[in-house]
Amino acid sequence: MASEKTLRQLADENDLTLGASITADAFRKYPDDPDVAQTLTREFNAVTTGNALKMGPLRPDRNTYDFEDADAIVNLGVANDLLVRGHTLVWHNQTPGWFYPWDYTDDQLRTFLRDHIHTVAGRYREKVDVWDVVNEAVADDGTMRETAWYDAMGEEYIDLAFQWANEVAPEADLFYNDYGIDEINEKADGVYALLERLIDRGVPIDGVGLQMHAFRAQEYVDPEALGENIRRFKDLGLDVHVTEMDVAYDRENVPENHLEHQAQYYRDILEACLDNGCDTLVTWGVHDTASWLRNYDQTITDDPLLFDEDFDPKPAYFAIKDLLESRV
217 pLDDT higher than 70 = no
30 pLDDT higher than 70 = no
- Domain annotation for the chain: domains and CATH numbers: 7-327 (3.20.20.80)
CA 59 from chain centre, in angstroms, equals 21
31 pLDDT higher than 90 = no
Confidence at 215, pLDDT banded by 50, 70, 90 = confident
- Active-site residue among 244, 260, 271, 309? 244
Bridge partners (DSSP) of residue 313 are: 307
260 flagged as catalytic: no
136 flagged as catalytic: yes
- Active-site residue among 4, 43, 126, 136? 136
Q: What are the strands, taking DSSP E only, across 158-260? A: 173-178, 207-210, 213-214, 239-247
> pTM of this prediction?
0.96
pLDDT digits (tens, 9 = 90+) for 237-266: 999 999 999 999 999 888 889 999 999 999
141 pLDDT higher than 90 = yes
36 pLDDT higher than 90 = no
The one-letter amino acid at 176: Y
Q: What is the enclosing helix (H) or strand (E) of 59? A: none
**Which of 133, 26, 44, 120 lies closest to 82, judged by CA?**
44
Q: In angstroms, rounded to a whole number, what is the distance separating the alpha carbons of residues 156 and 135?
A: 15
